Amino acid sequence: MNKLLSSWESLCAGSGALRFVDINLRGIGQVMFQDNPLTGALFLAAIGWGSYAAGVPQVALCGVLALVVATLTALWLRVDQASVRAGLYGYNGVLVGLALATFIAPGPLLYAYVVLGAAVSVVATLGTANATKPFGVAALTFPFVLVTWLLLLATYGFAGLAGTALPAANVIAPFELVVDTRPSFGDFVQGVLLSVSQVFLKGSGVAALLLLAGLAVNSLAAAAFALGGAILAVVAAHLLGAESELITSGLLGFSPVLTAIALGSVFHKPGARVAAYAALGTVFTVVAQAALNVALTPLAIPALTAPFVLVSWLFLLPKQCFRDDANDRAGS
* Binding residues among 129-188 for a copy of itself as defined by CB under 8 A: 130-131, 134-135, 146, 149-154, 156-162, 169-172, 174-180
Among 199, 283, 304, 306, interactor with a copy of itself by CB under 8 A: 283
Q: Which of residues 66-85 bind a copy of itself (CB under 8 A)?
A: 77-80
- Nearer Cβ to a copy of itself (11/150): 150
CA distance 243 to 103: 22
CA distance 62 to 105: 12
Nearest Cα residue to 332 out of 129, 66, 144, 145: 129
- Is residue 280 a contact point for a copy of itself (CB under 8 A)? yes
- Is residue 288 a contact point for a copy of itself (CB under 8 A)? yes
Q: With CB under 8 A as the contact rule, which of the stretches 27-35, 216-224, 226-234, 316-324 interacts with a copy of itself? A: 316-324
- Is residue 88 a contact point for a copy of itself (CB under 8 A)? no
- Is residue 315 a contact point for a copy of itself (CB under 8 A)? yes
Taking CA atoms, 299 is separated from 23, 73, 284, in Å, by 36, 30, 23
Contacts with a copy of itself by CB under 8 A: the residue count is: 72
- Is residue 105 a contact point for a copy of itself (CB under 8 A)? no
What is the identity of the amino acid at 81? Answer: Q
Shortest separation between residue 294's beta carbon and a copy of itself, angstroms: 5
Alpha-carbon Rg for the chain in angstroms? 19
- Is residue 230 a contact point for a copy of itself (CB under 8 A)? no
- Is residue 120 a contact point for a copy of itself (CB under 8 A)? yes
Shortest separation between residue 280's beta carbon and a copy of itself, angstroms: 6
- Is residue 20 a contact point for a copy of itself (CB under 8 A)? no
- Is residue 98 a contact point for a copy of itself (CB under 8 A)? no
Residues ≥6 apart with Cβ < 8 Å to 147: 92, 96, 117, 120, 121, 124
- Nearer Cβ to a copy of itself (8/188): 188
Taking CA atoms, 115 is separated from 44, 104, 120, 121, 205, in Å, by 19, 14, 9, 10, 30
**Contact between 113 and 91 (Cβ < 8 Å):** no
CA distance 43 to 222: 14
Shortest separation between residue 77's beta carbon and a copy of itself, angstroms: 5
CA distance 287 to 307: 9
Shortest separation between residue 86's beta carbon and a copy of itself, angstroms: 17
